[in-house]
Structure 1
């Protein structure tokens, strides 16, 4: 029996990709204007971004223990081995909750075969990890091989991104109010990356054109065998800029296929509309 791959909605994988690769996703939750929604199920990212533009301040919450228990048991009772690749533990309590439920389920079902893995990744960086593991699973690779491939890609996934408005990062506690005000005033575009699952400021760049150029440069400095791997760009309802970045990458590195998709509601609630994020490996693709 092939391994089943599970993830959560912070992977920003479209329903089409999930269906194509037989991926099961559990939703985080988003609360905005007093209403709670399941990310990707009863509210779309575009709706969330529009509400944010209109002044809404969304909050997110992790996958509930009940949802994990129901999901895990549904596979365990069918003797279906699975691996849940989780959203970075540094950005959400979802991984910790899943580990708690894993322990409970394995106490009741000691022969259950499944693992909960902290990817230390987010958005399509996380999504690329899940896609690669799902491809290996569909290929009939062994449980250990799928786990190893997924873990390897998670360990070596680079996240390079910028936001359109520092106010959203301020609301999320990522920058100070003064930094947000001064940055907006001077049209400074922050370049950020992920380090051991945490969001870390990388550089401050003045001007939108320069920040895209710098993203392409950083990709060249950090990426390994770019022509042999899958690259992804996610965006906060700004497909035009995402495509512009993709064209710059293709021109610079001769790359042909780049996966572009919307940032989901749970990530977008903190990054805001206009966010552009780039994902690639800093070691060879496996």
Structure 2
């Protein structure tokens, strides 16, 4: 009997990680007007979605996977006696983890569901470690302890040109946003204890450059083992940041990712997330 790892499509994994590790991804759902797509990179690509995000009058909507989606995956993975460890994005941003828990209660497979209190590449740090340990036959308790360590040693910062989509989508309150949706105010947000919070705000692109530069300087000082960069149509800045980190820290794993539809919906065009894990 082995442990199979399940997660959701807000995770950022490389093709090689998906191909070589025991990871199954359950997609969230994206709605464009009356059309509905699985956020699986197949039914709608990131490029196609970005065109809708920029040009459509109505903000796309997202929803968690159904209980039935999770139940089908859990039952299938447990057919030969394997058990499942399911890691999902923070409950502050989605009900996905609750859907997984309900499905776990209904499944004949032994399923442990964990709220990662994270998202994107931060979620991936936990998922990859869990999958590597599971592949090597580690017991569930060892995997859960490793996940806890990753959760407490991961930092996630998101640089946004606007909070409008987060507020419209109900992922952050107008009070938390303050004046950030007015007068060309830019925002640095942080995922802290699973919740997205405004950490700093200022006017114009100079503010964003300053905050990114200060964070990169700190990363070069703490020398994290892993750094993930996720962008929404902002590859130029993501590449510049990656090159600076790689130049200073050649032993640090740095990956660049294009945000999928769920993340893009709320962060909007030009967003950049910098996520890192320190041992």
In 1, Cα distance between equivalents of 2:269 and 2:21 = 28
Distance 1:219 1:5, change over 3 A: farther
Q: How many residues align?
A: 274
Indicate the residue corresponding to 2:51 in structure 1. Answer: 50
Secondary structure, counterpart of 2:6 in structure 1: strand
Distance 1:175 1:89, change over 3 A: closer
Give the unaligned 5+ runs of structure 2: none
Matches within 5 A, 1:253-272: 253=249, 256-272=252-268
Kindly provide the CA deviation profile for residues 169-226 of structure 1, in whole angstroms up to 9, marking residues without a partner as x.
23223253983542xx3x3320000111111000013343542442353465589852
Between 9-18 and 260-269, the greater mean CA deviation after superposition: 9-18
In 2, Cα distance between equivalents of 1:47 and 1:277 = 21
* Offset at residue 138 of structure 1 (A): 2.2
Give the unaligned 5+ runs of structure 1: none
Q: What is the RMSD of the two structures over their aligned residues, measured on CA atoms?
A: 2.4
Check the 8 A contact 2:9/2:25 in 1, yes or no.
Answer: yes
Indicate the residue corresponding to 2:73 in structure 1. Answer: 71
Work out whether 1:159 is the aligned partner of 2:161: no
In 2, Cα distance between equivalents of 1:119 and 1:223 = 26
Check the 8 A contact 2:5/2:127 in 1, yes or no.
Answer: yes
Q: 2:94 aligns with which of 92, 95, 105?
A: 92
Indicate the residue corresponding to 1:278 in structure 2. Answer: 274
Between 89-98 and 40-49, the greater mean CA deviation after superposition: 40-49
In 1, Cα distance between equivalents of 2:211 and 2:162 = 18
TM-score, L = length of structure 2: 0.88
